[in-house]
A and B are shown apart, each in its own frame.
Chain A
Amino acid sequence: MLRNEASFRDPDGYVFEDGGRLFRGLTQEAAARLTARETFYAQAVERGLLVPFHRESAGYGFVAVIAPQRLPLVSYPYEWGYEQLKDAALNTLDINLLALEHGLTLKDATSFNNQMLDGKTIFIDHTSFEETDGKLPWRPYSQFCRHFLNPLVVGAYRDIHVGAFFRTNLDGLQQQLANDLLPFKARLRPSVMMHMLAHNRFIRKSSEYEGTTEAAAIQTRGRQLDLLRQLRVFIAGLKAARAASTWSDYYENTNYVEAAFEEKKRLVSGFFDGRHLSTIWDVGANDGTFSRLVAPAAQTVLALDLDHNAVNANFAFNRRHGHKNIHALVYDVGNPTPALGFRNRERSTLEERSKPDAILALAVIHHLSLTNNVPLTESVRYFAERTPELVIEWVGRDDSQVKRLLAQKTVAYDWYSEDNFAGAYQERFALQSKTPIAGTDRAIYHFRRR
């Protein structure tokens, strides 16, 4: 039995694995709730709000055990774009609204309780519910603000990757900081005034209430239903701040002649036609054009890019057009997702969560080499450590992008040459094919790890 490293805080049960299968153990109370509110759980699963599961016989020291469906990929809020965080917020509110119809409410509102399954956001914590009379206060409120409302409002006014706040604080964006990041015009919105400004005044006075007020004894006349409805309407109306990004019109502003672009697409899809891989990573995926091209060949595609706006647009596009097996994530090869949390084991690196069978690295090598100053002998190690198969685009010195990058430099970068590239990469990979793209100083290399 292998306990899940991230699941240890809820006394009502934790997640573990045995024999390659995933389970969640339940306490007496949680098990009783599961039975008593069977309709709620069934409806939540049916509406695509909650991960499907089935009950197992008692065991492993628990009075009850459930087996939730395994997710193809676990991703974290600091890897998400704006729309995905917003989707998770709405999913959380929707499941709580449904719960209220059955006399239940959420115990917490952390963004980590939401994941993607078949292109939809779903809730994964089956034991996160408790009985309620439906009155305020809604206990998860402050956590909901930190995990969802604050970053989403800030991100609606500032072009920031709001997910990144979760890297430094796993419990979300603190109220004071969020408020400090707002422009003046945001403070004029009634919802902001209430959930962020007025709320903060009370948060700051928390220490005054200690000793005189019992959390369990606070009761009001308001309803959770009203609060959640208002939050839902407010959040549904938010959208990411206009991008000031240099990557958004990438494909329009590069020197790709249409014919050359079509040939590149033909080449790349040719490598994967009719194949059935488990996982493909598209590093530097940008708007996801090539991720979608290879998606039929894999169960899961990770479309990785360091630009949150590109990731966001990719996510929204895939959701709209039903590309369910593509996960658009914010990821920087030069500074990838670290292991975080308790003992640095609670939240793992992307490499621990996903093992690609193939990596696409199109239009990346020049940025890695020239912007990040990673030598060719070093960048090959990144790829060799991660994948047995590599499709990588060499971008030569006559390419306009490369010329632009080199123009900023005072050093010659003589080592950046196709011969050096081929030499360095063939130390770790065996060359399968090399195809120059007509009309450009680029070539597609297909490698297999030795």
Chain B
Amino acid sequence: MKGAQQMSIGRLCEVAVLATLAMMIPHPAFAYIDPGLGSLVFQGAVAAFVTIAGAWAALRTKIRDFFARFQNADRAGENAPK
């Protein structure tokens, strides 16, 4: 009986996930360029890395902006020759 219960819980999870995904389908945003399915799936695969990288980048930007107030930097900031 345990096996059957496990199977039905598994099935329940599967349905739940699919239902969630179905509800999450965004409004038809038709990018007329071909985004390349590979690139989209890739972003899904690296989402966790992106989150960490983004936080790190935000921190670096904060630090740079803090010091940039004392310099005359153009948009690129880091590469303005002294």
Q: Which residues of A contact B (CB under 8 A)?
A: 9-11, 83, 86-87, 90-91, 94, 107-108, 110, 130-133, 136-143, 145, 194, 198-199, 201-206, 209-210, 213, 215-223, 225-227, 229-230, 232-234, 236-237, 239, 316, 319-320
Contacts and interface: CB of A to CB of B under 8 A. Distances in A.
Nearest to A231: B57
A138 B38 contact: no
B78 A237 contact: yes
B27 interface: yes
A223 B78 contact: no
List the 3 closest pairs (A to B, CB-CB), nearest first.
A226-B54, A222-B47, A206-B38
Contact of B55 (A94, A226, A319): A226
A143 B49 CA distance: 20
Contacts of A229: 54, 57-58, 61
Q: Chain B's interface: helix, strand, loop or mixed, by majority?
A: helix
B46 A198 contact: yes
Nearest to A11: B32
Given A136-B44, A233-B60, A239 B79 contact: yes
A309 to B, nearest CB: 15
A358 B26 CA distance: 55
A132 B29 contact: yes
A90 B39 contact: no
B31 A107 contact: yes
Contacts of B74: 319-320
Given A11-B32, A217-B25, A219-B24, A136 B75 contact: no
Nearest to A145: B39
Most buried by B among A141, A205, A230, A320: A230
A216 B29 contact: yes
B37 A141 contact: no
Contact of B51 (A94, A132, A194, A223): A223
Interface residues of B, number: 44
23 contacts: A9-B32, A11-B30, A87-B76, A90-B75, A132-B26, A139-B33, A139-B35, A199-B39, A202-B39, A203-B42, A206-B39, A209-B37, A220-B47, A222-B46, A222-B50, A225-B54, A230-B53, A230-B56, A232-B61, A236-B79, A316-B81, A320-B74, A320-B80
B50 A139 contact: no
B36 interface: yes
Given A206-B38, A226-B55, A229-B57, 9 more contacts: A87-B76, A107-B32, A139-B33, A198-B46, A202-B38, A213-B41, A220-B47, A223-B51, A227-B54
B1 interface: no
A6 to B, nearest CB: 15
B51 to A, nearest CB: 5
Contacts of A10: 32
Contacts of A218: 37, 40-41, 44
A83 B74 CA distance: 12
A226 B50 contact: yes
B19 interface: no
Contacts of B53: 194, 226-227, 230
A29 B1 CA distance: 56
B54 A223 contact: yes
Contacts of B45: 202
Contacts of A320: 74, 80-81
B36 A142 contact: yes
A239 B24 CA distance: 40
Contacts of A201: 42
A226 B61 CA distance: 12
B4 interface: no
B8 interface: no
Contacts of A131: 27, 29
Nearest to A234: B57
B34 to A, nearest CB: 8
Given A107-B32, A131-B29, A239-B79, A215 B47 contact: no
B29 to A, nearest CB: 5
Given A141-B35, A230-B57, A233-B61, A220 B44 contact: yes
Contact of A230 (B38, B47, B50, B81): B50
